Structure 1
Amino acid sequence: MVRLNRIYTRTGDAGTTGLGTGERRAKCDGRIEAIGTVDELNAAVGLARLHASAELDASLARIQNELFDLGAELATPETDEPPAFERLTLIPGQVERLETEIDAMNEALEPLRSFVLPAGSPAATYLHLARTVARRAERVMVALARQDGERVSEVALRYVNRLSDHLFVAARIANDNGRSDVLWVPGKSR
C-alpha cells in the first residue's frame, strides 16, 4: 500500500532522487530519465482520455495503471541479489492484451494509403502526442538497457513498443475509424 504523508521531503534538493530500493541516483541518471519519460507518457494518455469515447477511455484507464506499474518496475532495478520484497513487473499477458486490442481496432480501419499526420479530432491529436512520447520512452529505456550494469526487462521493452502501436491505431479509431485521418501529401506545399 502506498502512503504519502508529505509531498515535499527536501531529499532531492541536492540533485538526487530515491529508487524503490532506497538507492539514490542523480536526477539526470538514465534510469530516472526513463521513469520520468514513462510518467510524461502517462500524463499524455490522461490528456487523450479527456476526449476519448467510453470504450477507448476504459482501455486508456487500464493503460495508465499499467504505466504506473512500468514506472514501479523501472524504480526497482533487477539485481543479482535476492530482492528484499517482490518486485512489481509487467507480464507477457499485458503485451498480449495490447496486441489483441490493436488487432480488434485495426479490423474497423481501411488500409493506409499514406502516412498519417498527427491531427484530426482532439482525441486523435492527443493520442498521437502520447504515441510520440511512448516512442521517446522506448528510446530512453533501450538506451538504459544498453548501459553497463543496467537491466530493463524484455517484457517492459515489448510493452512500450506495442503501446505506441496501440496509440497509433487508437488515434485512427478516434478519427472516425480513419475516415477523418489527415494524410501526408508529399511535396504538397512546394
Structure 2
Amino acid sequence: MVVLNKIYTRTGDTGDTALGDGSRVAKHALRVTAYGTADELNATLGVARLHAEGEMDAQLARIQNDLFDLGADLCCPDMERDAEAEYPRLRMADAQVTRLENEIDAMNARLEPLRSFILPGGSALSAHLHICRTVARRAERQAVELATMEHVNPAAVKYLNRLSDWFFVAARIANDEGRADVLWVPGANR
C-alpha cells in the first residue's frame, strides 16, 4: 500500500529525482521524461473522461490504471535485477496489450472504413481523445528512444503503440461511430 503523508521532500531541489529502484538521476533524464509523459497522458485522459459515460468511461478508467502501471514500469530500470528487489516490480504485461487489441477490434467492427484522413475534432470527447492519442505517441517515441540506451520492457513500448491506435478508434466511436468525423480535404484552402 502507498502512504503519502508528506508531499514535498526537498530531495529534488537540486534538479535530481529518485527512480523506483532508489537510484538518483537528473530530472531531465530520458527515463524521467518518458514516465512523466505517461503521467501527462493520464492527466489528459482524466479531462477526456469528463465527457465519457458508460462502457467508454469504464474502458478509459482501466487505461488510466494501466498508465500508472506503465509509469511504475518505466521508473524502475534494470529488469534483470527485478528478482533481487525487496518488493516485486510492477511490469506491463502482454495481456494488457492484448486487451487493447481486442477492444480496438470490437470498436472498429462498428465503424465504416475510412476513405479519408480525419481531422481531430467533432465531439468534445473525440477532440480530447485525439489529444490523448498524440500524447501517447510522444510517450511512445520517448520510450523507444530510451530503449536505444537502456533496457525498457518491450510490453511497455507495445502498450503505448496500441494505446495511440485505441485512442484513434475510440475518437471515431465518440463521433457518432464515425458519422460525425471531420474529414480532411487535401488542398481545400489553396
Deviation of residue 118 (structure 1)?
0.7
**1:146 alignment partner in structure 2:** 148
> Aligned residues: percent identity?
62
- The Cα offsets for residues 142-179 of structure 1, whole Å up to 9 and x where unpaired, read as 000001xx111111110000000000000000000000
Deviation of residue 131 (structure 1)?
0.2
Q: SS at the partner of 1:10?
A: coil
1:48 aligns to 2:14 (yes or no): no
**1:93 alignment partner in structure 2:** 95
**1:120 alignment partner in structure 2:** 122
**2:5 alignment partner in structure 1:** 5
Cα distance in 2, alignment partners of residues 53 and 69 from structure 1: 23
Deviation of residue 79 (structure 1)?
4.3
**1:59 alignment partner in structure 2:** 59
Moved over 6 A (4+): none
**1:105 alignment partner in structure 2:** 107
Instruction: Give the number of equivalent residue pairs.
Output: 188
Cα distance in 1, alignment partners of residues 3 and 85 from structure 2: 21
Q: Which amino acid aligns with 2:33?
A: E
TM-score, with structure 1 as normaliser:
0.97
Structure 2 matches for 1:10-29, cutoff 5 A? 10-29=10-29
- The Cα offsets for residues 42-85 of structure 1, whole Å up to 9 and x where unpaired, read as 11111111101311000000000000000001111124433332
- The Cα offsets for residues 86-136 of structure 1, whole Å up to 9 and x where unpaired, read as 110111111000000000000110100111111100000000000000000
**2:132 alignment partner in structure 1:** 130
Gaps of 5+ in 1: none
TM-score, with structure 2 as normaliser:
0.97
Gaps of 5+ in 2: none
